Amino acid sequence: MSYCVIPGCLSPQNSEGDRSCQSCGSKLLLRERYRSLRPIGQGGFGRTFLAIDEDLPSKPFCVIKQLYLHNPTAWSYGKAVEQFHQEAVRLDELGKHPQIPSLFAHFEQNRLFYLVQEFIDGQTLAEELEVQGVFTEPQVWEVLRDLLDIVKFIHAGQVIHRDVKPSNIMRRGHDRKLVLIDFGIAKQIVEGNSHLTGTSIGSPEYMAPEQNRGKAVPASDLYSLGIICIRLLTNVSPFDLFDINQGCWIWRDRVPASRRISRPLCQVIDKLLQNAVNQRYQTAEDVLQALTQTTQQEGSLLKARVAPRQPPSEPILAVVSPASPATKRDYRELQGLLAGGSWRQADEITWAAVRQLLDKPPGSYLFPGEIDRLPWVDLNVIDQLWVKHSRGRFGFSVQVNLYRSLGEDYGSFCDRVGWPKNNGRDRHQIWQFTTTAPIGHLPSRRGLGGQNWWRHLAMMATKFAQGELAE
């Protein structure tokens, strides 16, 4: 499929080989090489599209960013164009860092401005938080260390990001490293101008007090890192973690009772969140040194806390049937398909396995009321394989966690994962068997049937709650 990027058209009704849009006639290839596949985001200054580079034999993925404003004034459009060009300059200067996307192209076509940059295959910290819930202390240490190295690099390049927040931080799939994205409002540091008031710009939830007044400094990015830490530890909006009557942060009160946060981490976060700039850490190196000193003081216990997360252990692939100990169910075929990225075949095998577990004939449908009869040990193995090989993007448990986080609203869930809200015969056309599909998109619901097919997620959530309790 090829997606038209022209505002007012945005038609997806084009095949891979089309050179012109079937709806508006515009060229589909940007710069005669970049083909848009589908939209992946939209912000105040533009749209982003997943694309492929047809100029290279492997046709690698990339991201097209298009400058687009709805009903702009002459001033706002001029300002947006200026910032768009500045983003290209920043990426060109900073994209040499392995945790900042590389810039591939910057051009104008059909009186529209575009950036083409490296595609990061993964999920944002915001998405990760939504799926898994609050982070553990070791995970927060890891996030903080990883981000500080990036922030240290951009500040050394005389750039303030000004929009460090969970949705602008990607966890790259293949190495689990964090990548800082969206330099659209990054600012060059000009010596001697720190006293001048500029534009108040950024995301209010994560913005430092001085940045809100138009006077961003490098320590403003560090303040945002502190906000990220308390958001990950509580999964509560930063607006609700500050007591305006007392003028202080109350984030400790919102950390789940089951989680214990150490004194060293509290001290680091508290200093990151100081209102006065001169009482805050001044550089990323200062924070890194504080973390190193803390590690030395705490000894081996803290070293274990900040160690990288280990990959999940391999699930058992031969499951013994509780009902018939002589029967073993083998999931090595599913493992091989998932490891090889054959998502469509893995989806088919998954539903075939589900039917077999319930002694249903090939091609038949699963009814929501039958989910309770699925053996937990098998369901758990199938889910672990999906989660492991998709690096946390796909799996029944991923879907269940998303469903719970959305208030068990099936319509909202469908919107989030890219599923239709009906169950018509043409539903097979909407499944995306690729890692660029929305988080939770797979396994599909192609094997579901019955009048109450939409209740399967509620039943699956109950099944997982029972299984996790039994463990």
Q: What amino acid positions are annotated as catalytic residues?
A: 163
Distances (CA, A) of 281 to 84, 166, 218, 369: 30, 21, 10, 56
> Could you give phi then psi for residue 209, rounded to 5 degrees?
-55, -40
Instruction: Judge contact between 36 and 26, C-beta under 8 A.
Output: no
Q: Apex CA 181: angle with CA 275 and CA 125, to 5°?
A: 70
**Rounded to an integer, what distance in angstroms lies between the CA atom of residue 373 and that of residue 370?**
5
**Rounded to an integer, what distance in angstroms lies between the CA atom of residue 327 and that of residue 336?**
21
- Is the Cα torsion angle 386, 454, 127, 83 positive or negative in sign? positive
- Is the Cα torsion angle 167, 309, 94, 204 positive or negative in sign? positive
- Residue whose structure tokens are 């990323």: 284
Instruction: Judge contact between 124 and 167, C-beta under 8 A.
Output: yes
Q: Closest Cα partner for 210 from 305, 146, 153, 274? A: 274
* Joined tokens for residue 72: 């702009």
**Rounded to an integer, what distance in angstroms lies between the CA atom of residue 63 and that of residue 40?**
9
Q: Is the N-terminal amide bond of 443 cis, ω within 30° of 0? A: yes
